[in-house]
């Protein structure tokens, strides 16, 4: 699925770069600062998409003696960078909007409307390509959020162009830009928060460490369970370790596959390391 997502991002990267060039030329010909600024937005998105593509390539590298888990976390780092870039972009949009409200600039609404309409078609196509992918992939989700931001930006530009065309109120452009920024910031913050959650090796979503220990200890073959740790390796892969001790008369060698199977069924944790300790050594951790 990762290679399919990479191919989707490659297509959207080509669309984004192509339209950024069209938008820059259109903004220059129409005198629209909004279009020129949004062209810069598209260039930053293209850079983020390129970062995502590089991350996929690096993540495919095999594990080695130094990086025994491989390079999967590069995708998480790319998602974090994308989210941070979106937040910085929101700050820039807000700053530019304040400046334009204070000093409105003349805009040729007709050419602006044509270019913005083309942009909406391009961005909707890009969003659809990414939306059809595997959205549990944080790297792909980061790219999708960038493109959704572009869709909202195109809608705002169209609305501003129509409003300016009929009323002459150029202040509509910065006001709608602020509205788009507010919509983008929530998704960007969630992307950053999810990436930080993974990098801090917090338990995967839906996993309760204490409940996992109690559930294992309730199995008839296990007397005690403790020292449970679980973390997300990458978007769709979780890892866990746990200590257990056998109930009376139970073969200790049967506990690792038993505990691993229970955690996989209960929490979808595919890779589990189980240490078997003598009875009484876990000290009531369960």
Q: Band of the pLDDT at 18, cuts 50, 70, 90?
A: confident
- Sorted by sequence, the CB contacts under 8 Å of residue 91 that are 6+ apart come out as none
Q: Band of the pLDDT at 285, cuts 50, 70, 90?
A: low
What average pLDDT does the segment 52-81 reach? 75
pLDDT higher than threshold 60 for residue 231 = yes
What average pLDDT does the segment 19-23 reach? 81
In tens, the pLDDT along 83-121 reads: 888 788 778 878 877 887 887 766 677 878 888 888 888
In tens, the pLDDT along 128-178 reads: 887 876 555 666 777 777 788 778 777 877 888 888 888 888 777 777 777
Distance CA 236, CA 35 (A): 38
Q: What does the pLDDT read at residue 139?
A: 63
In tens, the pLDDT along 172-229 reads: 777 777 776 776 777 678 778 888 888 888 888 889 999 999 999 999 999 999 999 9
Q: Greatest CA span in the chain, whole angstroms?
A: 86
Query: What is the enclosing helix (H) or strand (E) of 234?
Result: strand 222-234
CATH fold of 209-276 = Alpha-Beta Plaits (3.30.70)
Distance CA 201, CA 191 (A): 16
Q: Answer yes or no: are the C-beta atoms of 235 and 205 closer than 8 Å.
A: no
Lowest mean pLDDT among 47-51, 62-66, 223-227: 47-51
> Domain coordinates of the chain in residue numbers?
2-199, 209-276
In tens, the pLDDT along 244-284 reads: 999 999 999 999 999 999 999 999 898 899 999 998 877 65
Angstrom CA distances, 209 to 141, 204, 216, 230, 278, stand at 27, 10, 11, 8, 22
pLDDT higher than threshold 80 for residue 54 = no
Percent of the chain with pLDDT over 70: 85
CATH 3.40.50.300 fits 2-199, yes or no: no
- Beta 222-234 vs 271-276: how paired, if at all? unpaired
Percent of the chain with pLDDT over 90: 21
Q: What does the pLDDT read at residue 134?
A: 57
Q: What does the pLDDT read at residue 226?
A: 92
Query: What is the enclosing helix (H) or strand (E) of 210?
Result: helix 209-217
What average pLDDT does the segment 29-41 reach? 67
In 3D space, the residue among 211, 183, 176, 231 whose CA is nearest the CA of residue 286 turns out to be 211
pTM: 0.67
Long-range CB pairs of 259-263 (<8 Å, 24+ gap) are: 259/216, 259/219, 259/222, 259/225, 262/215, 262/216, 262/219, 263/212, 263/216
Q: What does the pLDDT read at residue 31?
A: 66
**What is the separation, in whole angstroms, between the first and last Cα of the chain?**
38
What average pLDDT does the segment 120-124 reach? 86
Dihedral sign (CA 269, 273, 278, 283) = negative
In 3D space, the residue among 10, 76, 81 whose CA is nearest the CA of residue 46 turns out to be 10
Q: Band of the pLDDT at 65, cuts 50, 70, 90?
A: confident
Q: What's the angle, vertex CA 126, arms to CA 121 and CA 127, rounded to 5?
A: 100
């Amino acid at each position: 699925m990762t290679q399919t997502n990479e191919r989707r991002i490659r297509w959207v990267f080509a669309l984004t770069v192509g339209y950024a060039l069209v938008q820059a030329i259109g903004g220059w010909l129409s005198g629209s600062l909004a279009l020129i600024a949004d062209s810069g937005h598209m260039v930053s998105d293209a850079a983020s998409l390129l970062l995502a593509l590089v991350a996929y390539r690096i993540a495919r590298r095999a594990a080695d003696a130094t990086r025994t888990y491989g390079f999967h976390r590069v995708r998480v780092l790319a998602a974090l960078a994308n989210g941070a870039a979106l937040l910085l972009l929101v700050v820039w949009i807000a700053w530019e909007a304040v400046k334009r409200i204070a000093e409105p600039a003349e805009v040729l609404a007709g050419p602006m409307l044509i270019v913005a309409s083309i942009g909406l078609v391009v961005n909707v196509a890009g969003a659809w390509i990414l939306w059809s992918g595997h959205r549990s992939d944080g790297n792909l989700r980061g790219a999708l959020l960038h493109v959704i931001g572009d869709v909202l930006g195109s809608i705002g530009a169209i609305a501003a162009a129509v409003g300016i065309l009929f009323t002459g109120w150029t202040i509509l452009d910065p006001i709608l830009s602020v509205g788009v920024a507010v919509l983008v910031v929530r998704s960007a913050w969630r992307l950053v928060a999810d990436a930080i959650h993974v990098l801090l090796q917090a338990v995967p979503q839906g996993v309760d460490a204490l409940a996992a220990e109690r559930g294992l200890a309730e199995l008839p073959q296990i007397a005690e369970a403790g020292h449970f740790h679980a973390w997300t390796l990458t978007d769709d892969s979780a890892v866990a370790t746990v200590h257990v001790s056998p109930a009376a008369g139970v073969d200790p060698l049967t506990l690792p596959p038993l505990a691993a199977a229970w955690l996989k069924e209960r929490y979808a944790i595919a890779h589990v390391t189980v240490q078997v300790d003598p009875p009484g050594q876990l000290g009531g951790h369960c």
